[in-house]
Structure 1
């Protein structure tokens, strides 16, 4: 059972902070060694992400343009998508090379009813395509987690976002305990956990270390850890912040790989601002998944042509 009060994260946070501060080449070498011990370095999973219900979220997450609190963003609210359309888009993603399809709804929590039943249909449809299915729907109750498991859900995404000490600076409508409670329900239902966070929100290096320490303290550790770089959106409280330097992402990926060696580290939001070389360094540091496509929920992504060029650059060169 995940319970922040019972977790002594200080020793792991000290280790994580030391890694984040270590010389980059040494950190890269150590992370690459761990990565090769546990993974095939050529195995980089392509996942596709779709917003099935956009905007109007009652949460106040400072980074998120989908929050109803950030009225100056001007995001066009979209109604809940039909399962048939979602499954059709999943099939298109599979045809383009994705083998994991992730669906997000801008909800604070799941409510029983027609829309949740539709999500279950989406999960069943994606699984019937032979793809992994992941959803991010906000907070869950145990019976809802069990229903998702029965539908064949592969993974539930529920990010911590940041370290516990900085969390209150970013979100006021949901507690860290709330997040851990949902993750407990997910794990109890037998669904794998996809849980990571965002860097570049004004947090300290210690905050990043503490987030990784919490993740590394999970037993078992998360099967999937997405690392996101903030995409500042005008109209949100963090819209004025600069983008992070790509090497901050490299350090974060490398440290996550060392502390959580068997997980898939997902190079997620923010890589649209990274060069091919930056992203290859992230793969060397231990990232082994990307979101493949033009949009991440409502944020820009690298785009299919650039991603195809990235994988072509890394491919074996024929004589």
Structure 2
């Protein structure tokens, strides 16, 4: 049996066989092991509250099979142009007042372009950074120079999910390559921005694909500081709308495995929470999840999500509290 020794186990050379051995452990043993690792690296009583706002919605030219924002699919999602800066900053302030320590802005773009819209994103980043929040963006593919501009504006983190394994990737997306995602993550690293990267389960993949995705993340030269674990949100009008709901124990297994092999990372219980009751979410926290997305609009981008009041009540019931991140607005010299 492989031995895990808490903080001494930070590794970047995992094999697929090792990860499968962990993933396939008896469930209670797996959760116990993950909870033990979690306590070595993190305060188990704290959960980071993050707010995600769609600042530009719909009309995306990509064909991600799970995404209701792809222009080619007929969904009920309304296209929304880039929000005014003052509107975004008002949402950020409200998120901070509600207990969020991270504010993430998402734009349904295939890639960032050097135009007025990107200039406006830069102003949004500066404004949110000045509030003392961890400011995050997810804007699609990014060049090294664009990442540098974001870093200079005060961007703390950039989200760019792998979505799934390299082997299964072409079954889900054809408009970009898996290597494109890796290249964007490298550009983010070069600019000194922290990385938020995870994936989605329930896309029709095999457990081996989930393991392969985690292996890619865990064997990076530097682990992503944040790893979102999403369950497929089945959006009507997308090619994956009729796939079955992800079983909660599959989520628990995935979160526990991520916690064990990425011990220093924040593991984010992301999409899919709306279909999980309080007890099921508690299992995810026990397995090592220590961050959630919440929001006043009760949406996660364009899919349903629990609201702030509901989440705060759940945390209170479980004896958990929002993580407090004390930071001043930072400049590029602090990264």
Query: TM exceeds 0.5?
Result: yes
Q: Which structure dedicates a bigger proportion of its chain to helix?
A: 1
Once the two structures are superposed, residues 202-240 of structure 1 have per-residue CA deviations (whole angstroms, 9 ceiling, x without a partner) of 000000000000000111111000000001111100001
Query: Is 2:198–2:228's contact at 8 Å kept on the other side of the alignment?
Result: yes
In 2: Cα distance, 1:34 partner to 1:247 partner: 19
In 2: Cα distance, 1:270 partner to 1:50 partner: 17
**Which residue number corresponds to residue 333 of structure 2?**
none
Deviation at 1:309, TM superposition (A): 1.8
Q: What's the TM-score once normalised by structure 2's chain length?
A: 0.90
Query: Is 1:292–1:304's contact at 8 Å kept on the other side of the alignment?
Result: yes
Counterpart of 2:55 in 1: which secondary structure? Answer: strand
Which of 51, 55, 64 matches 1:52?
55
In 1: Cα distance, 2:92 partner to 2:310 partner: 21
Query: Is 1:47–1:99's contact at 8 Å kept on the other side of the alignment?
Result: yes
Counterpart of 2:105 in 1: which secondary structure? Answer: strand
Query: Is 2:45–2:319's contact at 8 Å kept on the other side of the alignment?
Result: no
Which of 106, 109, 126 matches 1:107?
109
In 2: Cα distance, 1:211 partner to 1:15 partner: 14
In 2: Cα distance, 1:92 partner to 1:218 partner: 35
Which of 277, 281, 284 matches 1:282?
284
Deviation at 1:11, TM superposition (A): 5.2
Deviation at 1:143, TM superposition (A): 0.7
Counterpart of 1:122 in 2: which secondary structure? Answer: helix
Query: Is 1:14–1:209's contact at 8 Å kept on the other side of the alignment?
Result: no
**Which residue number corresponds to residue 230 of structure 2?**
228
Superposition RMSD on alpha carbons, in Å? Answer: 1.2
Specify every segment of 5 or more residues in structure 2 that has no aligned partner in the other structure, as ranges: 1-11, 321-335
**Which residue number corresponds to residue 87 of structure 1?**
89
**Which residue number corresponds to residue 155 of structure 2?**
153
In 2: Cα distance, 1:139 partner to 1:49 partner: 18
Counting only pairs closer than 5 Å after superposition, residues 101-180 of structure 1 correspond to structure 2 as 101-180=103-182
Query: Is 1:35–1:257's contact at 8 Å kept on the other side of the alignment?
Result: yes
Counterpart of 1:52 in 2: which secondary structure? Answer: strand
Specify every segment of 5 or more residues in structure 1 that has no aligned partner in the other structure, as ranges: 1-8
Deviation at 1:19, TM superposition (A): 1.6
Deviation at 1:304, TM superposition (A): 2.2
**Which residue number corresponds to residue 67 of structure 1?**
70
Counting only pairs closer than 5 Å after superposition, residues 235-246 of structure 1 correspond to structure 2 as 235-246=237-248
Once the two structures are superposed, residues 22-81 of structure 1 have per-residue CA deviations (whole angstroms, 9 ceiling, x without a partner) of 1000000110111000111112100000000000001100000000121x2132101110
Once the two structures are superposed, residues 113-141 of structure 1 have per-residue CA deviations (whole angstroms, 9 ceiling, x without a partner) of 11101101111111111100000000011
In 2: Cα distance, 1:122 partner to 1:66 partner: 22
Deviation at 1:158, TM superposition (A): 0.2
> After the TM superposition, which segments of 4 or more aligned residues of structure 1 sit over 3 Å from their partners?
none
Q: What's the TM-score once normalised by structure 1's chain length?
A: 0.94
Counterpart of 2:50 in 1: which secondary structure? Answer: strand
Query: Is 1:142–1:185's contact at 8 Å kept on the other side of the alignment?
Result: yes
**Which residue number corresponds to residue 196 of structure 2?**
194
Counterpart of 1:47 in 2: which secondary structure? Answer: strand
Deviation at 1:13, TM superposition (A): 1.9
Once the two structures are superposed, residues 154-204 of structure 1 have per-residue CA deviations (whole angstroms, 9 ceiling, x without a partner) of 000000000111000000001010000010100000000000000001000
